[in-house]
A and B are shown apart, each in its own frame.
Chain A
Amino acid sequence: MGRVVVEVMPKPEILDPQGKAVVGALPRLGFTQFTGVRQGKRFELEVDGDVTPEVLVAAQQAAEMLLSNPIIEDVVRVADAAVESVA
């Protein structure tokens, strides 16, 4: 069984209210070195068999059509999870 990882982030020009709330909470735990947080999404898409180039193309299409909204988000990564863990 193969697995494709898709990562989606809010566009840089879109203020990320969730990230802002997280960065506000960190100093209360003593983490004063983090000056900014942006919160995105990670999807893991499972397939029967290997992650072929065709599977990656389909994952890219799914990422653009459903997993992200191009008006507010960017697809920043579409990768074979097996390759990712080796790297």
Chain B
Amino acid sequence: MSATLASARIGVLTFPGTLDDRDAARAVRLAGGEAVSLWHADGDLQGVDAVVLPGGFSYGDYLRAGAISRFAPAMDAVVDAANGGMPVLGICNGFQVLTEAHLLSGSMVKNDHLHFVCREQVLTVENAATAWTNLYAPGQQITIPLKNQDGQFVADERTLDELEGSGRVVFRYSGWNPNGSRRDIAGISNERGNVVGLMPHPEHAVEAGFGPADATGPRGGTDGLAFFTSVLASLVHA
């Protein structure tokens, strides 16, 4: 199994204005995978087994967050691969790109209080069966950083009911809703569970000494690492 894990190649897609691609690549490596850098203008995904769309401000968030990135050549390939079952994770701006690309439902608007938020956020894992959450326990509470201004998840009531009814609410904010997101939703998946998007940042909580505070110390938290080990596990079982 370890040989298969080591050979799993996870693409990290960089747009102009992406900030967290290096952290995402590092998270992939810490989880035991090989990180492959992908460039937005290149329509070739280089045979990767999964793709991470990292956080940042692609195209300066001009027009709407994620709106212009959606039409990058690499996104056509990502949409095709996602529809074919390839695991895709969108973090923060990456989540916004996935909603603009219609791979995920709903959209993000400005935080209800209009402020940029940067905090260590507690989430409840609502669905531990997706490609990116299978090593968490249902109902598990995790703490990972949250940092954004356009983080308020919105969708119409019918879409929200559909997401709830089909188990596609993957994460909910716990304790405090930091941005006015409908029904405290922090992250969702597509129907198949291979595409997941969330506003908080698992890739910033993958190595003790550089993560959020936890029981082991001020920066001991590594609750985000299981995103990346989960996808490697799902590739082994695929």
Q: Find out whether the CB atom of A18 lies under 8 angstroms from the CB atom of B99.
A: no
Q: Find out whether the CB atom of A17 lies under 8 angstroms from the CB atom of B100.
A: no
Contacting residue for B110 out of A13, A17, A71, CB 8 A: A17
A66 at interface (Cβ–Cβ under 8 A)?
yes
Binary flags per residue of B129-157, CB closer than 8 Å to A gives 1, else 0 = 00000000000000000000000101110
Contacts of A66 in B (CB 8 A): 63, 67-68, 71
- Residue on B with the closest CB to A13? B156
Known contacts A13-B156, A14-B154; decide if A69 and B107 are in contact (CB<8 Å). yes
Interface size class of A (residues with CB under 8 A): 10 to 19
| B interface majority secondary structure | loop
B234 at interface (Cβ–Cβ under 8 A)?
no
* Distance to closest chain B CB from A16 (angstroms): 8
Contacts of A13 in B (CB 8 A): 156
A15 at interface (Cβ–Cβ under 8 A)?
yes
Contacts of A45 in B (CB 8 A): none
Contacts of B68 in A (CB 8 A): 66
Complex CA–CA separation, A67 to B155 (angstroms)? 19
Contacts of B114 in A (CB 8 A): 17-18, 21
* Distance to closest chain B CB from A18 (angstroms): 6
Q: Find out whether the CB atom of B154 lies under 8 angstroms from the CB atom of A72.
A: yes
* Distance to closest chain B CB from A9 (angstroms): 13
Contacts of A69 in B (CB 8 A): 64, 67, 100, 107
- Residue on B with the closest CB to A41? B63
Residues from 3 to 40 in A contacting B, C-beta threshold 8 Å:
10, 13-15, 17-18, 21
Give me 7 A-to-B residue pairs in the complex whose CB atoms sit less than 8 angstroms apart, sorted by A's number: A13-B156, A15-B109, A15-B180, A66-B71, A67-B63, A69-B67, A71-B155
